[in-house]
A and B are shown apart, each in its own frame.
Chain A
Amino acid sequence: MTWDALIFYLLGAVSILAALGVVAAANPVHSAIFLILCFFNVAGIFVMLGAQFLAAVQVIVYAGAILVLVLFVLMLVDPDDLPEFHNARPVQRIVGVLLGAVLLLEVGLAIVSRTVMGQQGNATPELIALVGGNTQALGNVLFSQYLLPFEAVSLVLLVGVVGAIVLALPERLGAGSPRRGTISLGHPRGADQALAAGPAFETPIVQTRLEREEAASLDGSRDLIMVSDPDEYTTIGKRGRVR
Chain B
Amino acid sequence: MSAATNRPGVDQRSVEVDFPVDDFGGAGEALGTMTISDEVALGENQRLMTLNMGPQHPSTHGVLRVLLKLDGEVITDCDPVIGYLHRGTEKLGESHRYAQLIPWTDRTDYVAAPMNNLGCVLAIEKLVDVTSPERAQYWRVIMSELARIASHLVWLGTHALDIGALSMSLYCFRERELIMDIFETFCGARLTTNMMEIGGFSRPIPDILPGMVRDFCNVFPSRQQEYVDVLSANPIWIARTKGIGIISPEAAISYSLTGACLRGSGINYDIRKAMPYLVYDRLDFEVPLGTHGDTFDRYLVRMEEMRQARKIILQCLDQCEKMDTPLMAYESPYVIPPHKGTMTTAEDMQRHFIWVIKGFNPPVGEAYAAVEHPKGENGYYFVSDGDAMPYRWRIRSPDFVNLGVLPHLAQGAMLADVVALIGTIDIVLGSVDR
The answer on a CB contact under 8 Å between B411 and A178 is yes
In the assembled complex, the CB of B286 is this many whole angstroms from the nearest CB of chain A, namely 4
The answer on a CB contact under 8 Å between A222 and B291 is yes
**Among the listed A190, A207, A215, A222, which residue makes an inter-chain contact with B41, where contact means beta carbons less than 8 Å apart?**
A190
In the assembled complex, the CB of A50 is this many whole angstroms from the nearest CB of chain B, namely 43
Residues of A within 8 A of B253 (CB): 236
Residues of A within 8 A of B291 (CB): 222-225, 242
B246 at the interface (CB under 8 A from A): yes
The answer on a CB contact under 8 Å between A189 and B248 is no
**Among the listed B37, B45, B235, B238, which residue makes an inter-chain contact with A182, where contact means beta carbons less than 8 Å apart?**
B45
Interface pick from A60-68, A95-103, A154-162, A197-205: A197-205
The answer on a CB contact under 8 Å between B270 and A199 is no
The answer on a CB contact under 8 Å between A222 and B297 is yes
Residues of A within 8 A of B71 (CB): 180-182
Task: Report whether over half of chain B's contact residues are helix, strand or loop; otherwise say mixed.
Answer: loop
In the assembled complex, the CB of B17 is this many whole angstroms from the nearest CB of chain A, namely 4
CB nearest to A230 among chain B residues: B273
Chain B positions 300-318 with a Cβ under 8 Å from a chain A Cβ: 300-301, 304
Known contacts A181-B72, A196-B13, A242-B266, A188 near B288 by CB under 8 Å: no
**Among the listed A193, A199, A203, A220, which residue makes an inter-chain contact with B248, where contact means beta carbons less than 8 Å apart?**
A203
In the assembled complex, the CB of B169 is this many whole angstroms from the nearest CB of chain A, namely 20
**Among the listed A193, A199, A229, A232, which residue makes an inter-chain contact with B411, where contact means beta carbons less than 8 Å apart?**
A199
B9 at the interface (CB under 8 A from A): yes
B394 at the interface (CB under 8 A from A): no
Known contacts A75-B36, A222-B300, A242-B289, A199 near B10 by CB under 8 Å: yes
**Among the listed A200, A241, A242, which residue makes an inter-chain contact with B9, where contact means beta carbons less than 8 Å apart?**
A200
**Among the listed B36, B285, B300, B412, which residue makes an inter-chain contact with A199, where contact means beta carbons less than 8 Å apart?**
B412
Residues of A within 8 A of B234 (CB): 220
In the assembled complex, the CB of A143 is this many whole angstroms from the nearest CB of chain B, namely 39
The answer on a CB contact under 8 Å between B17 and A191 is yes
Residues of B within 8 A of A219 (CB): 238
CB nearest to B12 among chain A residues: A196
Residues of A within 8 A of B301 (CB): 224
Known contacts A218-B238, A226-B288, A180 near B76 by CB under 8 Å: yes
CA distance A195 to B13 in the complex (A): 7
**Among the listed B8, B17, B74, which residue makes an inter-chain contact with A200, where contact means beta carbons less than 8 Å apart?**
B8
The answer on a CB contact under 8 Å between A228 and B285 is yes
Known contacts A193-B16, A203-B251, A220 near B246 by CB under 8 Å: no
Q: How large is the interface on A (under 10, 10 to 19, 20 to 34, 35 or more residues)?
A: 35 or more
Residues of B within 8 A of A178 (CB): 74, 76, 411-413
CA distance A75 to B294 in the complex (A): 35
A209 at the interface (CB under 8 A from B): no
CB nearest to A225 among chain B residues: B289
CA distance A175 to B73 in the complex (A): 20
Residues of B within 8 A of A226 (CB): 286-289, 304
CA distance A120 to B189 in the complex (A): 89
Residues of B within 8 A of A177 (CB): 412
B44 at the interface (CB under 8 A from A): yes
B58 at the interface (CB under 8 A from A): no
Residues of B within 8 A of A227 (CB): 268, 273, 286-287, 289
**Contact bitstring B238-277, A, C-beta under 8 A = 1, else 0:** 1100110011111101100000000001111110011000
The answer on a CB contact under 8 Å between A205 and B9 is no
Chain B positions 168-203 with a Cβ under 8 Å from a chain A Cβ: none
Residues of B within 8 A of A106 (CB): none
The answer on a CB contact under 8 Å between A194 and B44 is yes
CB nearest to B16 among chain A residues: A191
CB nearest to A231 among chain B residues: B268
B43 at the interface (CB under 8 A from A): yes
Known contacts A181-B74, A194-B44, A226-B288, A233 near B9 by CB under 8 Å: no
The answer on a CB contact under 8 Å between B235 and A218 is yes
Chain B positions 59-81 with a Cβ under 8 Å from a chain A Cβ: 71-72, 74, 76-77
The answer on a CB contact under 8 Å between A199 and B47 is no
A84 at the interface (CB under 8 A from B): no
The 9 listed contacts between A and B (C-beta, < 8 Å) are A179-B412, A198-B9, A198-B76, A201-B412, A205-B293, A222-B292, A224-B291, A225-B290, A241-B249
In the complex, besides A187-B45, A230-B269, A242-B266, 7 extra interface pairs with C-beta distance below 8 angstroms are A178-B411, A179-B414, A188-B43, A188-B46, A224-B291, A225-B291, A240-B249
